[in-house]
Amino acid sequence: MRTAFSQSVRRAATSVTRTQLPASRAIAPCFSVTSTRSSPAPRYPGIRFYSAPAGLSKPEVEGRIMDLLKNFDKVKDASKLSNSSHFSNDLGLDSLDTVEVVMAIEEEFSIEIPDKEADTILSIDKAVNYILGQPDAH
């Protein structure tokens, strides 16, 4: 059985020549047969390996959150915005406004923040650290 298989593979490989395809589209055979007694060894010449996305950098996350808060209409004094600004103490936001900010952060970074974590995000620093800890944020 193995001999018949390797002979049919060899015949198929010799019947298709590279001149049938343009040089830019020539395809290497998927197997190479070294002898009739061994099984074909697979080759994978067309596999590409991609790296994982680099993720978000801290300055990028800080900038996006700062822009979001600058455009938020309930921030009373935008000059008080800094990386350590507290939503209620420094920016004058009440609890409902803080919930709106957290929802806007969810939309900005395409993530869903569970209620327990959303209750702890009360400053820009905490929001940045939470976003940096999420691998699916973009």
Catalytic residues: 94
- Phi, psi dihedral angles at 37 (to 5 degrees): -90, -20
Interatomic CA distance for residues 5 and 86, integer angstroms:
72
Burial of 91 (0-12, 13-18, 19+ CB in 10 A): buried
Interatomic CA distance for residues 82 and 84, integer angstroms:
5
Cβ proximity of 93 and 123 under 8 Å:
no
